[in-house]
Amino acid sequence: MSMTLQQNRLDPSLIDREALNQLVAAFSRPGHVSVIDGDGTETQLPEPLYQHLMRIVRMMREGQALIMMPEDETFTTQAAANFLGMSRQFFVDLLEKGEIPHHRVGAHRRVYFKDLLDYQRERDKKRHEGLKRLRQEIQDAGLYDPE
């Protein structure tokens, strides 16, 4: 069952500033952080989880609220377009061209968050490559001297 946005939101204002500072310090020490359950059993956090939690704690200390979202969360076309920073119609055109996978729920299109992230990564990669080519063409034409 999908969680609501409010349940997914980690608000740093709900955590004492000193507690966040102590967590950042704990995650900054060499070695790994462990958790101790109510029975006193200690378990060391696996490396990927340790790294992820370290980023979360640091971001929260900087005052950033975070939203956790599973990759299989579905978006409406409007929410997906908003996420990618484009108009809904442009987004729907991408779906119709097959550039982003989607499925239907009744008459409505839905897109998995994972597929939005994949599209975003590929779009950013293409943009970066295009800018790199343009910079090289300008340099080759002698119109820009980076020195």
Cα separation, 57 vs 51, whole angstroms:
10
Backbone angles phi, psi at 34, to 5 degrees: -115, 160
Provide the pLDDT for residue 72: 92
Provide the pLDDT for residue 144: 77
**Do residues 12 and 27 lie in contact, with contact meaning Cβ atoms separated by under 8 Å?**
no
Return the domain boundaries, the chain. Answer: 5-67, 74-140
Provide the pLDDT for residue 1: 36
**Do residues 74 and 81 lie in contact, with contact meaning Cβ atoms separated by under 8 Å?**
no
Provide the pLDDT for residue 2: 46
CA 27 to chain centre: 21
Q: pLDDT tens for the chain, 147 residues: list them.
A: 344 555 788 899 999 999 999 999 988 887 778 889 999 999 988 989 989 999 999 999 999 999 888 889 999 999 999 999 999 999 999 999 999 999 999 999 999 999 999 999 999 999 999 999 999 999 888 887 766
Provide the pLDDT for residue 142: 85
Class of the domain covering 74-140: mainly alpha
